[in-house]
Chains A and B, each alone.
Chain A
Amino acid sequence: MKKIYDNATEALDGLLSDDMLIAAGGFGLCGIPELLIDAIVASGVKDLTFASNNAGVDGFGLGKLLDTRQIRKMMSSYVGENDEFMRQYLSGELEIEFNPQGTLAERMRAGGCGIPGFYTKTGVGTQVAEGKEHKEFRGETYVLEEGIFADLSIVKAWKADETGNCIFRKTARNFNPPAAMCGKVCVMEVEEIVPVGSLEPDHIHLPGIYVHRLIQGEHEKRIEQRTVRQKEQA
């Protein structure tokens, strides 16, 4: 079983179609699948729905797919960093379904675990719970949220072995594991593919069973908010 592909375009071959639901990993610009996003831009596929915590920034990340009008709907928790997003949203070209961040993550995880719905306290008494089933458990009210079953997952990890066992680095893990789990097919990009046996089995963050196709490449890894402190004077 060959999982490794030469590049993002080949890895996505035969997987893309208009109107599909794609789950994408990343938080802000941290840990986003840059190479796969570029390949989706180049494919020209359109009317996409993305389940992704954020929508990139102007000209980078999912912002590239907004610039080309390939996205019809976003399922996200926070989208404040993107002028083109706001323009399309306010003009009615783009639909947004706001999800509380933890609900979005759990919807992905649940979908990947074969759980079509779960009850959560998050959002009870707010707009996001309107129209959804409520139920009492142990004297408290919970709202039903549905698992996300995506057509495709695009995710990014730090290193993977040739079977797709992978490890993430620091906070670049974020939504990548749940996003990887909830797609019918998962394509992963990594900074380095290493030989089988070179990753410690006890240290695998996401087992290769979730990863169907794998590519290695150079990442820009753009920083969204560069914040520093001054070195104290000697």
Chain B
Amino acid sequence: MPWDRNQMAERAAKELEDGMYVNLGIGIPTLVANYVGDKDITLQSENGMLGMGPFPFEGDEDPDLINAGKQTITELRRTAYFDSAQSFGMIRGGKIAAAILGAMEVSEKGDLANWMIPGKLVKGMGGAMDLVAGVGRVIVVMDHTNKHGDSKVLRECTLPLTGKGVVDLIITNLGVLEVGHKGLHILETAPGVTNDDIRAATEGAIV
């Protein structure tokens, strides 16, 4: 049985270590916050906050307190606020230990494409390019194949890149792949998924 969204998020949470400052992207990465358990993890929101709390209770929404997805959130006792230049200063400066992001395509060399599809509506890269260029470790969480069954783990990305050689770890519904110097390594398979299943679903080189 391949992993579902929550199981992928749960697996991604295992990559986080006590004391880490972490940035979570939109979608499945947001779910990772539900699985950090007792680990002391501080979440960064790139619009200018460290120590992001959960959604507010109804009636407690504050228009001055949102996350990078423009959703209302809450603060914690440890929260600190800062401006966008400082926020990306800490991202670019390598102070954020890890970013967990979604992706459209990842290459065997760790190239990442997750911001635009030519010919379709382009909304912008937001903070994704800064994050992948700056944080300590980039972990991608995505389905292994697209809705047509084509591999999203490729030799070369076909879509415009968000960053070149930036991805360290790929967690998909089928398993966990590490981006090595010579290609991808299978670190783990989802229950009932074999290495051969992953090889069959992966266009990029697995060594």
| Residues of A near any B CB (own CB < 8 A) | 27-31, 53, 76-81, 86, 90, 98, 100-106, 108-109, 120-128, 158, 168-178, 205, 221-231
Contacts and interface: CB of A to CB of B under 8 A. Distances in A.
21 contacts: A28-B47, A30-B70, A31-B64, A90-B121, A100-B128, A103-B129, A105-B84, A120-B92, A121-B92, A122-B92, A123-B129, A168-B81, A168-B83, A169-B64, A170-B49, A172-B64, A177-B83, A178-B83, A224-B66, A226-B61, A227-B71
A2 B71 CA distance: 38
Nearest to B128: A100
A224 B163 CA distance: 29
Given A122-B130, A122-B134, A171-B66, A223 B61 contact: yes
A178 B85 contact: yes
Given A30-B47, A31-B64, A174 B84 contact: yes
A173 B67 CA distance: 12
A96 to B, nearest CB: 8
B65 interface: yes
Given A170-B81, A225-B70, A225-B72, A101 B126 contact: yes
Given A80-B121, A102-B92, 7 more contacts: A27-B84, A80-B124, A104-B84, A126-B163, A170-B49, A171-B65, A176-B83
Interface centre among A28, A122, A222 (most CB of B within 10 A): A122
A126 B160 contact: yes
Contacts of B125: 77-78, 98, 100-101, 128
Interface string B69-89: 111110100000111110111
In the A-B complex, the 6 residue pairs with the closest CB atoms: A102-B88, A125-B164, A80-B123, A102-B130, A78-B124, A105-B84
Contact of A124 (B64, B81, B133): B133
Contacts, number: 182
Nearest to B49: A171
A157 to B, nearest CB: 11
A221 B64 contact: yes
Interface residues of B, number: 53
A88 B168 CA distance: 39
Contact of B164 (A90, A126, A172): A126
B88 A105 contact: yes
B46 interface: yes
Nearest to A30: B66
Contacts of B91: 102
B135 to A, nearest CB: 11
A106 B85 contact: yes
A226 B90 CA distance: 28
Interface centre among B46, B71, B84 (most CB of A within 10 A): B84
A100 to B, nearest CB: 4
B157 to A, nearest CB: 11
Nearest to A82: B123
Contacts of A101: 46, 84, 88, 125-127, 130
A77 B122 CA distance: 11
B56 A228 contact: yes
A227 B55 contact: yes
Contacts of A225: 66, 69-72
A121 B134 CA distance: 8
Interface centre among A30, A126, A128, A205 (most CB of B within 10 A): A126
A125 B56 contact: no
Contacts of B81: 168, 170-171, 173
